[in-house]
Amino acid sequence: MKIFIDSNIFVAVLTEEEERFSEAKKLLNSDHQIVTSMLNLMEVRSVLSKKKNHDRAEIQEVEDDIIEMADIIIPDSSDFIRANQLQKESYAYPIDSILMAIARNADAVLATFDSELLDNGAKEPGELL
């Protein structure tokens, strides 16, 4: 199965979040095909630098690891067109609508801990194991 990984799953593993670490790590180490977007990679970078105070070398290492483990999708106009349609239907936040559209256009299941995304059809890591 192709799984689109949201940023919060990477962050849960990288920061060893107590409640989320185990499921997130199992999903990332599963046999599923892992994909994510450039937007998610950028968000991981921001969280690690601004909220977790990682230095640039550590962040670069993390980025390299993510790029090695996942196919990185760069959003295009079809993703934004679909995101606009999804946002009209759900009134989800724009970034959430974009992530949902990228995942759907990639024929992937969106995996996340985000409650709004879960309300719109995404799955928690434990559901995909």
Task: Write the CB contacts of 3 (distance below 8 Å, at least 6 apart in sequence).
Answer: 27, 30, 32, 33, 34, 35, 108, 109, 111, 128
Q: What percentage of residues in the chain have a pLDDT greater than 70?
A: 100
Mean pLDDT of 48-64: 94
pLDDT of residue 56: 95
What is the rounded CA–CA span in Å between residue 73 and residue 3?
12
State how many domains the chain has: 1
Band of the pLDDT at 125, cuts 50, 70, 90? very high
Task: Classify 93 as helix, strand or coil.
Answer: coil
Q: What is the pTM of this model?
A: 0.96
CA distances from 24 to 4, 5, 81, 105, 112 (A): 13, 10, 30, 23, 9
Q: What is the CATH number of the domain that holds 95?
A: 3.40.50.1010
Overall average pLDDT of the 48-75 stretch: 95
Which pLDDT band holds residue 100 (cuts at 50, 70, 90)? very high
Range of the domain at 113: 2-128
